[in-house]
Amino acid sequence: MIIAIDGPAGSGKSTVAKQVARMLGFQYLDTGAMYRSVAWYALEHQVNPDDVDALARIAQEKSIEFRAAQDDAQPSRVFIDGVDVTGEIRTPRIDKAVTPVSAIPEVRSALVLQQRAIASTHNVVMEGRDIGTVVFPNAEVKVFLTASAEERARRRAAQNRERGFGEVNESAILQDIIRRDEADSTRAASPLKPADDAHMLDTTDMSIDEVCETIAAFARDLL
């Protein structure tokens, strides 16, 4: 079974997708981490951000792997070309660099192939922007999470404080969220939009447990 969870930055996708996967015993896949890893690799190797061919080659040729953390409570670790980038892909410089990288059709098609391969052998909860529309248009359960931009900025700020990112500027985070919403929704390649048959969940006033229970119930109805 495939559970596709899409939505804008800060809508709670990661927290919710991880918890739903744990509840159902499914594998969790964070596709944003794959786009972030490609952006990290490009910055690290001084690849020109306008060099579409070079960026596409990174997505096609560099292996991206998810490995379970030693401690179950910790998120799984992400590697590109054997380098652990789990922490570095969450920094503001990657928040910025990932937007143009994720708009390149050749990067998207290379990563979508990998996403489909992973789901061919596992029950998965996959989160991203285009999972229900492009990656798995036939996913059994599709959910589109939303929340107000202010609430999403508040959540992201709290998460960054927890991660020990030092001084956290919530209004800068809000501006970045608005910028990313606009870029992700208006790009030509696989723009962020709900699938016609997605369950729409506005999580602004819902607890994480309520959201997860709602999604798990959609899945259990089909199991």
Contacts to ligand DC by CB under 6 A? 9, 31-32, 35-36, 98-99, 102, 128-130, 180, 184
Q: What is the closest distance, in whole angstroms, from the C-beta atom of residue 119 to ligand DC in the complex?
A: 13
Tokens read off for 91: 């920094």
Q: What is the closest distance, in whole angstroms, from the C-beta atom of residue 187 to ligand DC in the complex?
A: 8
122 or 220, CB closer to ligand DC? 122
91 or 99, CB closer to ligand DC? 99
Q: CB–CB of 127/29 below 8 Å?
A: yes
197 or 220, CB closer to ligand DC? 197
Q: What is the closest distance, in whole angstroms, from the C-beta atom of residue 100 to ligand DC in the complex?
A: 10
Based on its alpha-carbon atoms, the radius of gyration of the chain, rounded to whole angstroms, reads: 17
98 or 124, CB closer to ligand DC? 98
Residue 102 — φ and ψ, nearest 5°? -75, -5
Q: What is the closest distance, in whole angstroms, from the C-beta atom of residue 184 to ligand DC in the complex?
A: 5
Closest CA to 14 of 3, 27, 2, 28: 28
196 or 221, CB closer to ligand DC? 196
- Taking CA atoms, 38 is separated from 91, 120, 124, 142, 167, in Å, by 14, 23, 22, 26, 27
196 sits in which H/E element? none
Distance CA 62, CA 131 (A): 22
146 or 220, CB closer to ligand DC? 146
Q: What is the closest distance, in whole angstroms, from the C-beta atom of residue 221 to ligand DC in the complex?
A: 25
Distance CA 92, CA 173 (A): 9
Three-class DSSP category at 97: helix
Residues in the chain: 223
Q: What is the closest distance, in whole angstroms, from the C-beta atom of residue 150 to ligand DC in the complex?
A: 17
